[in-house]
Amino acid sequence: MRSPYFTKDHELFRQTVRQFMENEVVPQADVWEKDQRIPRDIWQKMGALGFLGINFPETYGGAAADFFYSVVFLEEVGRTGLGGFAAAVAVQQYMATAHLYHVGSEELKRKYLVPSISGEKVGALAITEPNTGSDVANLQTRAVREGDHYVINGSKTFITNGVYGDFVTVAVKTDPDAGLDGISLIVVDTDTPGFSAKKLRKMGWHCSDTGELAFDEVRVPTTHLIGEENRGFYYIMESFQLERLVGSLTAIGGMEKALDITLQYISEREAFGRPIAKFQAIRHTLADLAAELEAAKQLTYHAAYLCDQGETFVREASMAKLITSELGKKLVDGCLQFFGGYGYMDEYPISRMYRDARVGTIAGGTSEIMREIISRIMIERVRYESIYQEKASE
């Protein structure tokens, strides 16, 4: 479909990414899911092709491409139908490294951002704790300054890339009495003494290493502070809008794939002497889902446009995350139905997509929290201002 957002170059890039994903990722899906691990070489391959740097400046090995290259990339990553892989890539490229890029020192950018772009290092972002997720301000992990080091104690949970990653951007309390104004972000190498990670077993996203992290007297140099001390809460809130947009884009890619394989299946499967694609009940259900997907996609593209223009897009990103993740569950469920019994079998990708879609309304901010943000903007007229001045594509 023609779109005002994409040029011929974007579409050429889409073909390149799709070919890579179809050759290098999709055939490996079952193995990675079984191993509960994404092999290192796939990061290096993506790095070598420049995929992991499209959203970063050339000085750090990136391509400084406009945000619609990220839209294309994330849709194609989602289109693998491998939710755990999409989550791992999204965290690496748009979450763990986002704060480093925006407010990290030059030293930190050289040490963590550059090797993340080349695929040599994998990063995680650790905000959620066993006792607090949505309520970020209530986090308890503590960092105390001792000379030129911080000493970190506490725990984090549900952390993507947390087990096999090389570094973690960790949200900590540096001033426990200051509420929102007492949170900071610090980078921790996962081989630092006192750091440990345990892999969690979960319903879907099996190839993604979701970890519970423990910090026991972990000492890191004060130079590992990202940005200013006690400004972490605001950095986190600023980045949430991008994270939610990114999650919406991978969800859209996944839904398009689910719809495509369903259309293929219903044209081949026969019942009562006809392809099941001829049954109106099936056709109309899929028509409804396709229409809802198109609406969700256009809302998400609008959020992406605002992001590309350097505008605040909290409202649109929250709406897009809400709509795409809720639709993700409904659409995959609807599609699976038309695979009949085969849809319930592990060897059919639609079965994995069904499991993977469930977490969409939880991870990266729950649907309830999205509704809360939208209501505050709508009813209390809360205004969110960007704390970063530059455009996302610069």
Ligand X SMILES: Cc1cc2nc3c(=O)[nH]c(=O)nc-3n(C[C@H](O)[C@H](O)[C@H](O)COP(=O)(O)OP(=O)(O)OC[C@H]3O[C@@H](n4cnc5c(N)ncnc54)[C@H](O)[C@@H]3O)c2cc1C
User: Which one of the spans 190-198, 337-345, 362-370, 380-388 is the region binding ligand X (CB under 6 A)?
Assistant: 362-370
User: Of 312 and 366, which CB lies nearer to ligand X in the complex structure?
Assistant: 366
Q: Which of 129, 212, 243, 326 is labelled catalytic? A: 243
Please give the C-alpha separations between residue 133 and each of 137, 321, 364, in angstroms, as whole numbers. 9, 17, 10
Q: Kindly state whether residue 133 participates in binding ligand X, applying the rule CB under 6 A.
A: yes
User: Of 15 and 134, which CB lies nearer to ligand X in the complex structure?
Assistant: 134
The position carrying tokens 């400084």 is 64
Do 321 and 296 meet the contact criterion of CB atoms below 8 Å apart? no
Q: Kindly state whether residue 65 participates in binding ligand X, applying the rule CB under 6 A.
A: no
Helix (H, G, I), strand (E, B) or coil at 89: helix
Judged by CB under 6 A, the residue of 67, 158, 195, 240 near ligand X is 158
C-alpha to C-alpha distance for 130 and 185, rounded to whole angstroms: 18
Residue 243 annotated to the active site: yes
Judged by CB under 6 A, the residue of 49, 63, 151, 362 near ligand X is 362
Encode burial over 110-131: b for 16+ CB neighbours within 10 A, e otherwise.
ebbbbbbbbbebbbbbbbbbee
User: Of 277 and 359, which CB lies nearer to ligand X in the complex structure?
Assistant: 359
Do 118 and 295 meet the contact criterion of CB atoms below 8 Å apart? no
DSSP H helices, 49-97, are 67-79, 83-91
Judged by CB under 6 A, the residue of 91, 98, 152, 392 near ligand X is 91
Judged by CB under 6 A, the residue of 105, 230, 366, 386 near ligand X is 366
For residues 209 to 238, the per-residue mask of contacts with ligand X, x marking binding by CB under 6 A and - elsewhere, is -x----------------------------
Judged by CB under 6 A, the residue of 106, 260, 368, 390 near ligand X is 368
Do 91 and 161 meet the contact criterion of CB atoms below 8 Å apart? yes
- Which residue sits closest to ligand X, CB atoms considered? 133
C-alpha to C-alpha distance for 303 and 249, rounded to whole angstroms: 10
Q: Kindly state whether residue 317 participates in binding ligand X, applying the rule CB under 6 A.
A: no
Cβ neighbours around 152 below 10 Å, total: 23
Judged by CB under 6 A, the residue of 72, 100, 127, 286 near ligand X is 127
C-alpha to C-alpha distance for 390 and 136, rounded to whole angstroms: 25
C-alpha to C-alpha distance for 34 and 13, rounded to whole angstroms: 31
Q: Side chain identity at 104, as an amino acid letter?
A: G
User: Of 126 and 218, which CB lies nearer to ligand X in the complex structure?
Assistant: 126
Query: Least Å distance between CB 202 and ligand X?
Result: 6
Helix (H, G, I), strand (E, B) or coil at 133: coil
Judged by CB under 6 A, the residue of 43, 85, 205, 215 near ligand X is 205
User: Of 150 and 158, which CB lies nearer to ligand X in the complex structure?
Assistant: 158
User: Which one of the spans 31-39, 53-61, 312-320, 361-369 is the region binding ligand X (CB under 6 A)?
Assistant: 361-369
User: Which one of the spans 28-36, 155-163, 297-305, 338-346 is the region binding ligand X (CB under 6 A)?
Assistant: 155-163
Q: Kindly state whether residue 126 participates in binding ligand X, applying the rule CB under 6 A.
A: yes
Q: Kindly state whether residue 259 participates in binding ligand X, applying the rule CB under 6 A.
A: no
- 280-308 helix and 314-337 helix, angle to the nearest 10 degrees: 160
User: Of 7 and 134, which CB lies nearer to ligand X in the complex structure?
Assistant: 134
Judged by CB under 6 A, the residue of 168, 335, 365, 392 near ligand X is 365
What 3 state SS string does 202-249 have? CCCCCCCCEEEEEEEEEEEEHHHEECCCCCHHHHHHHHHHHHHHHHHH
C-alpha to C-alpha distance for 333 and 47, rounded to whole angstroms: 34
Size of the site for ligand X (CB under 6 A): 23
What radius of gyration do the chain's Cα atoms show?
21
Closest C-alpha among 144, 243, 135 to residue 179: 135
| Tokens encoding 327 | 């639709």
Q: Which residues are catalytic?
A: 243
Q: Which residues contact ligand X by CB under 6 A?
A: 91, 124-128, 133-134, 158-160, 202, 205, 210, 359, 362-366, 368-369, 372
